[in-house]
Amino acid sequence: MREANRIGVSILDAICSEVRPGVATIRFEEIAQDLCRACHVQPAFHGYDGFPFAVCCSVNEEVVHGFPSATRLLHEGDIVSFDFGVIYEGFYSDCARTLGVGEISGQARRLIRVTEECLALGIAEARPGRYLHDISRSVQIHAEKNGYAVIKRFVGHGVGRKLHEKPEIPNFEASRLYPLPLKAGMVLAIEPMLALGTCEVEILPDTWTAVTKDRKLAAHCEHSVAVTSRGPEILSLPAGKGYGAV
């Protein structure tokens, strides 16, 4: 899974490096497909439950599962999130990031920063002796303290030989009645999604793209994290940053 994530993140880095005003979002799909071929890995999302692309590309009010498009151009001030994973020797990687396009508003910058902070706080709880709801609670508290709503419709998940394994990892505290202790050897995809306004989402007629009901901005970030006896090990850090322990 380290190797799956190393490859997956190197492709995600290449996708992110092409973000600029004027680019059509289908460009990111082309990069993803080309590099999967070059690296001899399969894109994890293409065909998953019928999802028609290798990369999820979600712009502004799109929360997750957006489609890359030949007609949708990125504009200065947009924010764009990518969710991407690969299958390497039977194991899945999974990672997501939100980036600004050119100069973005202070409001958008703050939303992205707090989403990343929520992820870091959730990861810090991913250690033996803690419970699943410790991750959920730390994400929710930080988001709400900063005035944002956590999206409840989509949750993180275990990841391994399948893309979505048990347990579900909500970004809100919902699982206290059945406390699940975290154990070394688990790999968790922790993925907070925060919204500027309402947490309610609707699905566009393409049956995939989730947008905020009020069409205000949303941000999403995700790491695949191994729970180890030494603490959390982030498998999906960008190249050069190693496998981090928080």
2-16 helix and 26-39 helix, angle to the nearest 10 degrees? 140
Residue 63 within binding range of Mg ion, rule CB under 5 A: no
Q: Please, what is the minimum distance in Å from the beta carbon of residue 143 to Mg ion?
A: 18
Q: Please, what is the minimum distance in Å from the beta carbon of residue 189 to Mg ion?
A: 4
With CB under 5 A as the contact rule, which of the stretches 23-31, 125-133, 186-194, 196-204 interacts with Mg ion? Answer: 186-194
Residue 86 within binding range of Mg ion, rule CB under 5 A: no
Q: Please, what is the minimum distance in Å from the beta carbon of residue 107 to Mg ion?
A: 26
Q: How many CB atoms lie within 10 A of CB 138?
A: 21
Kindly state the DSSP code that residue 151 receives in the 8-state scheme: P
The length of the chain in residues reads 246
Residue 189 within binding range of Mg ion, rule CB under 5 A: yes
Residue 193 within binding range of Mg ion, rule CB under 5 A: no
Scan residues 88-107 and list those touching Mg ion (CB under 5 A). 94
Q: Please, what is the minimum distance in Å from the beta carbon of residue 160 to Mg ion?
A: 12
* b/e sequence 7-42, b meaning 16+ C-beta within 10 Å: bbbebbeebbeebeeeeebbbbbebbbebbeeeebb
Q: Is 234:96 a contact under the CB 8 Å cutoff? A: no
> Measured from the CB atom, is 96 or 215 closer to Mg ion?
96
Residues engaged in binding Mg ion (CB under 5 A): 94, 189
